[in-house]
Structure 1
Amino acid sequence: MASPAPAPLDDLDLKVLHALQIDGRAPFSRIAAVLGVSDQTVARRYRRLHHTANLRVLGMTDENLLGRQSWIVRLHCLPDGAEQLAEALAKRPDTLYVVLISGGTEIVCGMKPRSRKERDELLFDRLQRTRQIVTVSAHCLLHLFYGGRLGRRSKPTVLTPEQEAGLQPPAPVLSDAPLPLDAADEALLAVLRRDGRSTLTELQKATGLSEARVKRKVEALRSAGVLYFDVQYDRGPLGQAVSAMLWLTVAPRALAEVGRALASHPEVNFTSAITGQANVVASADFRSPDALYTYLSAKIGALDGIHAVESAFILRQVKQLTYEPGR
Structure 2
Amino acid sequence: MILDELDFQLVNALQIAPRAPWATLAPALRTDASTLSRRWARLTEAGIAWTTCYVLPQRMQAYSALGERLRSSYASIEIRCEAGRRAEVIDALARKPEVINIECTSGSRDLSLNVASAAPGEIDDYVDTQIAPLPGVISTNTRFVRIMYREGSEYDLNALRPAQRVGVDEIRRTESSVVESAEPSSLNASVIAALQPDVRRPASEVADIVGISVPLARRAISRLMHSDWVRMRADFAHEVVGWNASVNLWVTVPQDALERLATGLALLPSVRLCASTIGPANLVTSLWLRELEELDEIELHIRRLAPEARVVDRWMVTRVVKRMGTLFDDAGRRRGYVPVPLPSIGTS
TM over 0.5: yes
Amino acid at match of 1:166: E
Is 1:241 the counterpart of 2:235? The answer is no
Deviations 1:19-59 (A, max 9, x none): 01112111111111222321111112212333566100111
Is 1:36 the counterpart of 2:30? The answer is yes
Amino acid at match of 1:320: R
Distance of 2:114 and 2:181 partners within structure 1:
23
Q: How does 1:93-172 map to 2 (within 5 A)?
A: 93-102=97-106, 105-113=109-117, 118-130=122-134, 132-149=136-153, 151-152=154-155, 156-160=158-162, 161-169=165-173, 170=176
Query: Is this contact kept in 2: 1:244–1:284, CA < 8 A?
Result: yes
| Residue number in structure 1 paired with 2:96 | 92
TM norm structure 1: 0.85
Aligned residues: 314
Is 1:197 the counterpart of 2:191? The answer is no
Give the direction of change, closer, same or farther, for the CA distance of 1:130–1:13 in structure 2 (3 Å limit): closer
Taking every aligned residue pair, what percent have the same amino acid on both sides? 20
- Cα deviation for residue 103 of structure 1 reads 5.9
Question: What secondary structure does 2:280 align onto?
Answer: coil
Distance of 1:143 and 1:250 partners within structure 2:
15
Q: How does 1:40-51 map to 2 (within 5 A)?
A: 40-51=34-45
Query: Is this contact kept in 2: 1:52–1:237, CA < 8 A?
Result: no
Is 1:25 the counterpart of 2:28? The answer is no
Give the direction of change, closer, same or farther, for the CA distance of 1:295–1:324 in structure 2 (3 Å limit): closer
Query: Is this contact kept in 1: 2:149–2:263, CA < 8 A?
Result: yes
- Cα deviation for residue 319 of structure 1 reads 0.9
Give the direction of change, closer, same or farther, for the CA distance of 1:204–1:41 in structure 2 (3 Å limit): same
Give the direction of change, closer, same or farther, for the CA distance of 1:181–1:74 in structure 2 (3 Å limit): farther
TM norm structure 2: 0.80
- Cα deviation for residue 203 of structure 1 reads 0.6
Q: How does 1:296-311 map to 2 (within 5 A)?
A: 296=299, 298-304=300-306, 305-311=308-314
Distance of 1:192 and 1:80 partners within structure 2:
37
Query: Is this contact kept in 2: 1:249–1:307, CA < 8 A?
Result: yes
Query: Is this contact kept in 2: 1:18–1:159, CA < 8 A?
Result: no
Q: CA RMSD in A?
A: 2.8
Distance of 2:155 and 2:326 partners within structure 1:
23
- Cα deviation for residue 324 of structure 1 reads 6.7
Q: How does 1:286-305 map to 2 (within 5 A)?
A: 286-296=289-299, 298-304=300-306, 305=308
Distance of 1:138 and 1:174 partners within structure 2:
35
2:52 corresponds, among 51, 55, 58, to 58
Deviations 1:207-257 (A, max 9, x none): 100011112222333333222212221124542111111211121111111
